[in-house]
Amino acid sequence: MSKELTNIQQKILDYIIDRKTSIGIPPSLAEIAENFNYRNRATVQQHLASIERKGYIKRNPKIARGIEVTLEEKFFIPRPVIGEVAAGNPLTIYPDSLDSIELPTIARMPKDSFLLRVKGDSLKDAYIFTGDVVIVNPNLEPRDGHFVTAVLDDAAVVKRFYKKSHKIELHSENPEYEPIVIEKDYSGFKLVGVVVGVYRSMERKVG
């Protein structure tokens, strides 16, 4: 990347990336202006010109909201990790999102999903390791065979979900372990969400 951004330019770039990654629609000049309390779009226009000249974005002339972000230095964006999950232990939710990972900008989070960092190697039979991040969607209805995150008697688990007539079965990936069978209205069971994926950043994996 050619040059460093000034403070303001960096903030504008952050805002653009945030808008694109959260709601999926790049902001217009007017919206950027409003966000930064500018009375005029021309101010934004000039900032964008600077940011583009420095190579961080690419603008599509005449096209509304036509800002593309050039991903290089800005390849990773911080995303809050809201807690930890470790089979056998209680589900830890960080009070103020202390932790965050550098999720690649390619990995856009849907609004309703969240990230949990995996701790301990108790999930290794599911090929999930310490430091990996599971993407959990709490609003998805789990289907048979889906991996789910759940709290069972105050312990967090990541297991395969199977729905029987009046029971729920949680299967381990390791066939040596017997499935856990739960009555459907057992109060000690709380489904957290469906694990839609595992993401592992290759930045600083410990060998």
Partner DNA sequence: ATTTTTGCCATACATATGTATGGTAAAAAT
Partner DNA sequence: ATTTTTACCATACATATGTATGGCAAAAAT
Please pick, from the candidates 3, 6, 18, 23, the single residue that binds a second copy as defined by CB under 8 A. 23
Query: Could you say whether residue 204 binds a second copy (CB under 8 A)?
Result: yes
Q: Which one is catalytic: 20, 119, 159, 172?
A: 159
Q: Which amino acid makes up residue 40?
A: N
Sign of the four-CA dihedral 20, 96, 194, 177? positive
User: Is the Cβ of residue 39 or residue 64 nearer to a second copy in the bound state?
Assistant: 64
Report the SS3 class of residue 79.
strand
How many Cα atoms sit within 13 Å of 162 on the Cβ side? 11
User: Minimal CA–CA distance to 165: which of 139, 190, 144?
Assistant: 144
CA distance 115 to 197: 10
> Which of 55-63, 80-88, 93-101, 150-158 is the region at the interface with DNA (rule: CB under 7 A)?
55-63
Q: Which one is catalytic: 122, 124, 163, 201?
A: 122
Any long-range contacts for 57-64 (C-beta under 8 Å, 24+ apart)? Answer: 57/13, 57/16, 64/28
Please pick, from the candidates 33, 87, 118, 195, the single residue that binds a second copy as defined by CB under 8 A. 195
Please pick, from the candidates 81, 137, 157, 170, the single residue that binds a second copy as defined by CB under 8 A. 137
Q: Is 122 a catalytic residue?
A: yes
User: Is the Cβ of residue 51 or residue 150 nearer to DNA in the bound state?
Assistant: 51
> Which of 7-15, 43-51, 66-74, 92-100 is the region at the interface with a second copy (rule: CB under 8 A)?
66-74
Q: Is 119 a catalytic residue?
A: no
Query: Could you say whether residue 122 binds DNA (CB under 7 A)?
Result: no
Which residues are marked as active site?
Answer: 122, 159
